[in-house]
Chain A
């Protein structure tokens, strides 16, 4: 080893050390989990009922439904703390477009934002449109921020609440919010597994495929127009297909022998990473979606699969069993610089890189042989087990705001879809029908 090499190696180690020390600082924490993160206290004074119910036979009034959905969205945003209006002295009904003088009481009670509105079918004719007016009062500035007016059929009542919630998040953070996002997933129909899509809160499930066999592991395109997934042609070979949500059209992107699994489009949509065993064992490949040129990224005797793009598009996390059991590795997008990320436990798989880039979620097998979710920083310095208890957890996928993870679990017996905050709080089951719901994948925000 020459003197120059020694000097360089020593300096690289030094820079690495400084970097490690600095990465221990607070900014590697998830934003919502930061001790100094202050949620904005928000009170919903009420969404007044103007008439009409959600469905002809339904008893839930339209304003009440919108208020309920809005409250859930506001709570799940993790940007606001929902304040109970009871006892605040805020007038809750018969409100116009101007703030009620009683709202000033809210300031004294620590409320920063007051939301109110009205919704319903005005004419009493059940075929008429639903109207919603919503207003926002900023107690800090003692002014009405403004309002929104939505109109549409009874089928978009939940969407009215979701849009309003996202406008609130946008107003106070500049981020689009997650209330209008979707979750694509796989559900069992007979012995077949088909693709479905639902709202982020589990409502309005829609079946997308009816092939009668196996469609697996969907992933979104960054513009939310397409899903990529694995499908079995004639039950004997696997293809990777692209499905356009607005038209139902399908294209086959990869069609060859062997496994063709875990497709993932890059954050700019220009590349498709996937795993294929067409040349022997499962290896990672990268297809240029414009030229269709395919580049092989890995070459070794182990199985390489489940690529997940970093938000920068410059790196991927993936699963490899090259060192025995499956472990999470990182690789540059050109196939260089492969290094192992997980060392704790003998089974770590299904990595999902967070949209903010600072965490990778994955399935970790605990010493008690339970399959749970873990989080690790891309530098490997911090590791947290996120879920505990019985059941096999699988397929973690991040919300676009990086504050939640959706995943499948058999914790309640059958496989269902659950949501959890990235600080481990607010575990919620979001599917309640069907015999097997799996492989959830969260859409980008809009």
Chain B
């Protein structure tokens, strides 16, 4: 700790200001999350009371039990399985397509390299609905409405340009000398990829999988437009559907359940996610 308590009043004031600001930031960012957790563990009459309680005096788990009940109308457990399947498939497929593409684009000579990279960046700028209007028609005509493929395909495509960009920043971080040494030792492309590049890219691939999973888990527009059947309900759509319900406590519990996996992943792998962002800055 470099900051020792200074003798001058000015330094002390600065410290007080720093901690004051820190507490303020903590409260503003965390309060809404705290609020929804609080709502999910209170009884319905207390939630609807005008005297809002900020500190819980008891913990009510009924709402959590209710939302996993078969009778609740929204199959929460099933929707979590659906989202898990779709998100895992999206994450692995996207990374599997993005890694070779990123490597080739940054370390090999690909015809039209600049156009491809530029195109990938430009896509991100355009509104999703520009692509979704004809995709909706295509999904219906191909019989992919209400299917896993009808969700995974758009998810992969929507994540891919961003993923190639991120993988690119990890590929560029690999020193060229390492590859040259391997080549001098007579390694072919396949050996180079599997023995050198992929092991070196492991942190990037891991971050990419996390990101792909999260983006698919939180996706809302695609399932809203491309599915309607309850058997293929995703968590986000299920959460939205439960807003039609009247029980606020259950809605709060469903919100916590939907957000929890992503929050846990983010909190645990905070460093990896920061790495991705930092890689973007250094570019």
Q: Note whether A and B form a binding pair.
A: no
Interface residues of A (CB under 8 A from B): none
